[in-house]
Structure 1
């Protein structure tokens, strides 16, 4: 059963140039990319620029009229406060993804404590820390989200250790605790978890639909200096390998078949003849792999890049030198074929995933592009979020330090 609560929708307004704010992984001392402002944590709240910079955020929602061949309808544009449950038939170790709004974020339910309490979590391959609010956190610091502490769980322990995680879009801090955590029917006893005592407004705001965050990158990225849930499931013998299988649904498909599987891949979700096994190219804990090429209508736009694959990011970001500055408007009726080549396979991006939302009330006019520019680590790295990942089946393997990408059964050209 999903939690029932209310929040206001994300806002858009009229513009020709849109500046995107995004959740990111830049750590303390790192550089936040240019063109980033007013972000919600890990999901996008779009702020509107005029011809210059610093324009205020929009104050009215977009209502799109009609629809176009790319699938934008009034329902899609007005879906800012919806959760779309998955109907996927689960295999062992699987969780159903819930889509927030029109693919803004992907959430799963887990249980923590005794008696078990359900928490709705943003599942994030771009970080490695898991946390939920503490019952000791004041409402102005953590919002109206479900919380964890000794007064709600008889098995909760609080340690004399603090933690702080700084994201590109905000920060959380608190203490390290431990409690019983159940994920996909598998229970870990006394597992470390962060409980927050302070969250920036980007996390604490009541309209943020998730209670906490589960980090699914590799453990060396953890600010809490604890193993990830995936590593612990393997250590406990609950899964044979520290593998995640990830399939993201798409709101405009009219159904949600998204799932997250611990310990194996779901062979029913992808075409095995397209599977590419890619070694991780970074030692910092991100799922970073070689991106051979990005092509537009069969012509290489860039070659020999790196890509970080991040389910906690809504859109995509490329280096400024590759695509120019800012975020762009494109025709909502775009028909160009965009592919990203990993290994020997070019994975096509569905045209619906090249556009985010209409800029005005005409869904056949201009749309916000799902691709923006910024600096990610160094000048050759792309950040590929859900706009790309909806088009592939991704399997991460901690033991082998590899990522496998495969075409979805329903992918363009399959």
Structure 2
């Protein structure tokens, strides 16, 4: 077509644009003039480039069939590794797990603060289940139902369902695990991209061993450890990764320093040597912290937070005492010391958004909150902390290793979506675990690089190991509550059979395991004295 609106057919005859349908329908060459539209605004070039980069980031983000956007990490090259992806805003870190004999991919929250694993079930009719991927008997020939139920009680909702046994496959492994299939999921999960939670903690003498315990029992690894590397979206590193049986030396610098957990064989709680800012100690030696990949921010009781912020110029506590505001120009690092090794958290991670979301505000809310998150006063060091360290969780020796990360060089004009999210606190509470299923025979096979190998039969699943690695991920965590159910109703827990147990800390996370989007909280806590 040419400028005057007419088009040429293959014979060279001009055809009016209005009669184009009558032109010969044969391959040909058509031309049209392309013009550049002049700029009509005064937006600065750097701002325009940053916006364009953000558009590209959204364009190339992996959009799932269920509608949630995921910023994917590169496929790991380290053996026995799975990619850890995120939502593009540093709020949630997930991995892909292949479930059942048909290897159905589900996105699960990577949660070192929870011992229990659960996924949304195909029989669930709640709104959250309708917008996520689910799993049921039709998805696997090795699906083994039980009459045991579980219940996760949140501050504003719940997750409940029935325990089953089937295979979970990731990072070159496939092993049978007892996990929950939820038939009731609260609306709190409507905004979470995960289809379930991969619990990587453990409870001593648990009646329902979780994924971590199953991995140890099956003896698939020479060393029963897993290592976690998460990244901040603004770095554009896309190198999130969980590695089983070893470490990825390219993800850290210097030495890995180990600290024994406070309870051997228990959850991931370690003692704190020092904590403070910019080299100033706040006198908090002897406190303990849960290293929790399933929690977005960091939390400590108000009395500890008061000492912690005493060395931050201009810091002010909120009216409800639940958060601190600091000058938005604050550039000092937060520091935590374990076993003599100090780890620095840059201000870009711990200094959050402007108080109340007001653009002219000069005070910003800290991402290290003044809230008692556990019954025993343990701190929660979540992703705000973990973005700056490489973490190794040693199941054999009940210890956590931490190492600093190499500096990331980011192009100055690159930008990822800057949407500020608010947060609300929710928290699961776990009660008594159920009986374990009979153990299965572990086998080791070499079968390419699939994340999971089908069992090929409807019999009891076996634990298998493949040689490669496959990338995908899962999200933040919580705990579960197994109970005996009556034959008449497997959906309701028997209160008489419930006994207190812990999921996230030695004395449990009570009812406040903080995960992902903590909505109303920032808005309420933003008002400062």
2:204 matched residue in structure 1 = 220
Does the CA-based 8 Å contact 1:219-1:226 persist in structure 2?
no
Give the counterpart of 1:406 among 403, 409, 412: 403
1:230-275 per-residue CA deviation (whole Å, 9 max, x = no partner) reads 33233323222221101111111123211111121212211243x2
Paired position in structure 2 for 1:277: 258
Count of aligned positions: 339
Q: Which residue of 2 aligns with 1:331?
A: 327
How do 1:92-171 residues align onto structure 2 when only pairs under 5 Å count? 92-140=79-127, 142-167=129-154, 170-171=157-158
Cα contact 1:356–1:370 (8 A) shared by 2: yes
- Looking at structure 1, the residues matched to 358 and 71 of structure 2 have their Cα atoms a distance apart, in angstroms, of 24
* Superposition pairs of residues 336-375 of structure 1, within 5 angstroms: 336-359=332-355, 360=357, 362=359, 365-375=362-372
Q: What residue number does 2:431 align with?
A: none
Q: Which has the higher strand share?
A: 1
Q: For residues 97-152 of structure 1, what are the alpha-carbon distances to aligned partners after superposition, in whole Å with 9 as ceiling and x for unaligned?
A: 11123110100001002321100000101111111111111234734221111122
Secondary structure of residue in 2 paired with 1:406 = strand
Aligned to 1:14: none
What's 1:385 paired with?
382
Cα deviation, residue 296, structure 1: 1.4
TM normalised by structure 2 equals 0.59
1:286 equivalent to 2:267? Answer: yes
1:313 and 2:310 matched: no
**Counterpart pick for 1:196 among 168, 182, 189:** 182
Match of 1:376? 373
Counterpart in the other structure of 2:248 = 266
Q: Hey, what's the Cα distance between the residues in 2 that align with 1:230 and 1:284?
A: 11
8 Å contact from structure 2 (residues 237, 408) kept in 1: no
Give the aligned CA root-mean-square deviation in angstroms. Answer: 3.1
Counterpart of 2:238 in structure 1 is: 256
Unaligned runs of 5+ in 2: 1-43, 62-67, 307-320, 410-529
TM-score normalised by L of structure 1: 0.74
Alpha-carbon deviations, 1:154-179, whole Å to 9, x = none?
22121121112335564311111112
Cα separation, 2, equivalents of 1:221 and 1:374: 30
Change (3 A) 1:350 1:178: same
SS at the partner of 2:82? strand
C-alpha contact 1:329 1:366 (8 A) present in aligned 2: yes
Looking at structure 2, the residues matched to 170 and 403 of structure 1 have their Cα atoms a distance apart, in angstroms, of 32
**Per-residue Cα deviation, 1:301-332 (whole angstroms, up to 9, x for no partner):** 23212111101110111111022421133333
> Secondary structure in 1 aligned to 2:204?
helix
Taking the aligned partners of 2:167 and 2:378, their CA distance within structure 1 comes to 38
Q: 1:245 aligns with which of 215, 220, 227?
A: 227
> Alignment partner of 1:387: what SS?
helix
Deviates more, 1:137-146 or 1:293-302: 137-146
Q: 1:140 to 1:289 in 2, by over 3 A?
A: same
Whether the 8 Å CA contact 1:323–1:373 is kept in 2: the answer is: yes
1:67 & 1:104 partners in 2: Cα distance?
A: 27
**Counterpart position of 2:430:** none
CA distance in 2 between counterparts of 1:262 and 1:397 reads 10
More deviation in 380-389 or 83-92?
83-92
* Distance across 1 between alignment mates of 2:184 and 2:283: 42
Q: 1:378 Cα shift?
A: 5.4
| Change beyond 3 A, Cα 1:344–1:320 | same
The question of whether the paired residues in 1 share the 8 Å contact of 2:117 and 2:210 is answered with: yes
Instruction: Give the equivalent residue in structure 1 for 2:15.
Output: none
- The answer for unaligned runs of 5 or more in structure 1 is 1-64
Q: Which has the higher contact order (CA 8 A, sep 6+)?
A: 2
**Contact kept? 1:127, 1:221, Cα under 8 Å:** no
Evaluate the alpha carbon distance shift between residue 165 and residue 330 of structure 1 in structure 2; reply closer, same or farther with a 3 A threshold.
Answer: same
**Change in 2 beyond 3 A, CA 1:228/1:263:** farther
Partner SS state of residue 132, structure 2: coil
